Structure formats: C-alpha cells, structure tokens
Amino acid sequence: MTLWFRASAVVPTLKEEWGVSSAAAAWLTMSVQIGFVAGTFLSEFLNLPDIVNTRRLFAISAVLGAGSNAAFALFASGLAVGLLVGALMVGSGFPHLVRAVGDMPWDRVVLISSVFAIIGAGIVLGLVRDGPFGAEPARFNPRLAVRCLLQPGVRLTNVGYLGHMLELYAMWP
C-alpha cells in the first residue's frame, strides 16, 4: 500500500521545492487514484484475475507500480504528473512514517516506497499459496464484459464501489 499514499507524503515538500500550487498538488495526488481506477478497469475488462494466477497478477502489478513510482523519483522535474498515472498499486501511512524518520528528502521516500512494493511482490510470490479451489484460467470473452455492463445491478454495484473509493481516497486531506 506504500505506493498509494506516497504522493500525499511528499506533496508538502514538492509544493515548497517546485512551487506546486494547491490545485496541482491535488491533481498530483488524484493522478494516483486515476491510475488505480484505470488499471483496475483494464484488469477487469481483460478478465486478468481469471486468466492470470492471482499471486502473479498481484506481483506483476506491484512491480509495475514500483517501476512507475521509481521513474517519478528518478526522472521527474516540476509537474510530471503523467508518470504517476502508471502507479497502480498504492499505499497507506508507511510513506509518512518513512518521511518522519530522519526527515528524508521526497525522492528517497518515493524510492523506499518502490522497494517495499517489490518486497510485497516477493512475499506474495514466495509465501502465499493458491487456495484449494483454484480454477483454470478463463479465456477473455468481450461479449460477457458487454453483457455485464448492460446489467443494471452489476453497473450500479460498480458505480457504487467507484463512488466509495472516490470518497475514501480522493477526499482524504
């Protein structure tokens, strides 16, 4: 979860160092949520959880998120918000803890968040085992995806969930 909240952990420093406005800082934080929603939508649209082993999908997502996050720390200058959109896996309060210990510079907090995402991927691949009711990967069928979108119950459930996630993460201070 470190990748999710690392933006909010470093925004105060970026506001000072880069002269980022409050509105731009909000977009910087929201771009992580936008990337998460886009990644989740793509994952579900392609039916990846049914096609790719769940542990591997989690690990691949963590590594992709860590790579995107690290690229931001290493190559960002000014408002390189586009790099943040690729950060699919996100985190909670750990980046704030990392920043608080020794008052680290923002780029180090972001890199440490990336390292912990890689560690999470290793834990999932090395220590977590598939459950007893695993199924063979399903083939992607675009007709089923369209059928789900046309069902009011499924559509309303997804909209409700996305609204909940917006309320939960985008509206946090």
Q: Which residue has the tokens 């925004």?
A: 11
Q: How many domains, in total, are found in the chain?
A: 1
| 162 assigned to some structural domain | no
| 171 assigned to some structural domain | no
pLDDT in tens, 27-58: 777 777 777 788 888 888 778 878 888 888 88
| 167 assigned to some structural domain | no
Contact 92, 5 (CB under 8 A): yes
| 95 assigned to some structural domain | yes
pLDDT given for residue 94 in this prediction: 61
pLDDT given for residue 89 in this prediction: 36
Range of the domain at 112: 2-140
Select from 68, 80, 66, 71 the least CA-distant residue to 14.
80
Residues 6+ apart with CB under 8 A from 42: 48
Q: Which residue has the tokens 């995806």?
A: 145
pLDDT in tens, 14-26: 888 878 778 777 7
Helix count and strand count (H, E) for the chain: 9, 0
| 145 assigned to some structural domain | no
| 161 assigned to some structural domain | no
